[in-house]
Amino acid sequence: MPQVLLYGFPTRVSCPSGRAVPSRANLARACHGAQQKHAWPSACISQRDYFSAVLGSFSNVFGALQKGGVRSYRSTRPRRAAAQTAFASAECSEEFVELAHKLADAAGEITSAYFRTKLDVENKGDESPVTVADRAAEVKMRELINEAFPDHGVYGEEGGLDIRKGEYVWVLDPIDGTKSFITGKPLFGTLIALVKDGNPILGIIDQCILKERWVGAAGRPSTLNGVEICTRKCGPVGEAFMYSTTPLMFEGDTLRQYNQLAEKVRIPMFGCDCYAYGLLAAGFCDLVVEADLKPYDFMALVPVVEGAGGILTDWQGQRVKLDLTSMLDGSPSRAYEVIAAGDQATHEAAMQILNE
């Protein structure tokens, strides 16, 4: 009888290790103590129930969307140790989470309508294709933010930086993975982050075609379609399944560093964009290592990964922040290298190899 991850179907899930969200100090320990190597630690149902459960799951999510989104869709099982919350002491208001769901719903409606359709693909300066959907979704999300919180700033891939007087900034990437999008591959995602004083306190990864939504928010465990998720313990780096979007994102020093690590992991893989971080947060891979990223490419990923017990930093181990000061100074937009790992030991070992 296999153990099955049943996201989007919380009423069938039982978790004997459920507990209230613990303190920051022991969260990682508790979470990883429950992990088995390369195993999903919860949610047992019988094989016989699988098909009806999955079918029910999709129907539920579709139904929820037709009624206005999955934001009312909450896990009913007891809370358990599911987060290494480096941001556990921060606060994220429920109204921010609700708005983030609303943004994801709106962006998903627009991008879904253009998926696998005829589009005039344009070239930007950096040669990445940008679609009509990308721009329309960001315009819509900016409208919704301005309506709800007119003093919140917005920084988006398409529309740039719009700073207001408040301490909050929303960081948006309507379609992370435009190359996947325009070739009909349903692994692109909408990334929505809320940053307070430069620190991401809320993140959503939304895959609108597969109806998969990861949510991370300060002080609470990350979820996939409303069900709490947890990273897995990897063991030695030589056993790590590692994702990067493409080897072409590395060059010069970062290529040399990446190659050092790629030679030592179990399998280096490609082609996932933000979806890889969702897989890591849900315990299906061990490392995501990328370069040449902009803040809108990874701000939303931090709360999702950290709220699931993982860790996401730059290649020097520094927590990533939105550096508004240099952005407002007109400094050239810098590129970031990012490493995400399911557990602290794997993160440290991988960083050491990157920096040898």
Q: Can you give the binding site for its own copies, defined by CB under 8 A? A: 2-5, 36, 38-40, 47, 50-51, 54-55, 58-59, 62, 65-66, 109, 112-114, 116-119, 121, 129, 179-180, 182-187, 210, 241, 243, 246-248, 267-272, 275, 279, 282, 284-285
**Residue 229 annotated as binding site:** no
Nearer to its own copies, 152 or 233 (CB): 233
CA–CA gap between residue 195 and residue 202 (Å, rounded): 7
Instruction: Please answer whether residues 60 and 69 qualify as being in contact, where contact means their C-beta atoms are separated by less than 8 angstroms.
Output: no
Nearer to its own copies, 173 or 212 (CB): 212
Residue whose tokens read 């009909």: 184
In this structure, what are the phi and psi dihedrals at residue 336, rounded to the nearest 5 degrees?
-115, 150
**Residue 173 annotated as binding site:** yes
Q: How far is the CB of 270 from its own copies (least distance, A)?
A: 4
Q: How far is the CB of 300 from its own copies (least distance, A)?
A: 19
Nearer to its own copies, 53 or 320 (CB): 53
How many Å is the maximal CA-CA distance in the chain? Answer: 60
For residue 90, the 8-state DSSP code is: S
What contacts 24+ positions apart, CB below 8 Å, involve 65-71? 65/105, 65/211, 68/105, 69/101, 69/102, 69/104, 69/105, 70/101, 70/105, 70/211, 70/213, 70/225, 70/226, 71/97, 71/98, 71/101, 71/102, 71/105
For residue 39, the 8-state DSSP code is: -
Strands 311-314 and 336-341: antiparallel
Nearer to its own copies, 95 or 270 (CB): 270
Q: How far is the CB of 1 from its own copies (least distance, A)?
A: 10
Q: How far is the CB of 278 from its own copies (least distance, A)?
A: 9
Q: How far is the CB of 256 from its own copies (least distance, A)?
A: 16
Q: How far is the CB of 126 from its own copies (least distance, A)?
A: 12
Nearer to its own copies, 179 or 319 (CB): 179
Nearer to its own copies, 150 or 238 (CB): 238
Q: How far is the CB of 207 from its own copies (least distance, A)?
A: 10
Q: How far is the CB of 133 from its own copies (least distance, A)?
A: 9
**Residue 175 annotated as binding site:** yes
3-state class of 134 per DSSP? Answer: helix
Nearer to its own copies, 198 or 271 (CB): 271
160 φ/ψ sector (left φ>0, alpha ψ -120 to 50, else beta): left
**Residue 297 annotated as binding site:** yes
Task: Give residues with Cβ within 8 angstroms of 326, minimum separation 6.
Answer: 334
CA–CA gap between residue 270 and residue 85 (Å, rounded): 28
In this structure, what are the phi and psi dihedrals at residue 170, rounded to the nearest 5 degrees?
-90, 135
Residue whose tokens read 């609700």: 98
3-state class of 147 per DSSP? Answer: helix
Structure tokens at 114: 């253009």
**Residue 49 annotated as binding site:** no
Nearer to its own copies, 105 or 337 (CB): 105
Binding residues for Mg(2+): 157, 173, 175-176, 297
Binding residues: 157, 173, 175-176, 297
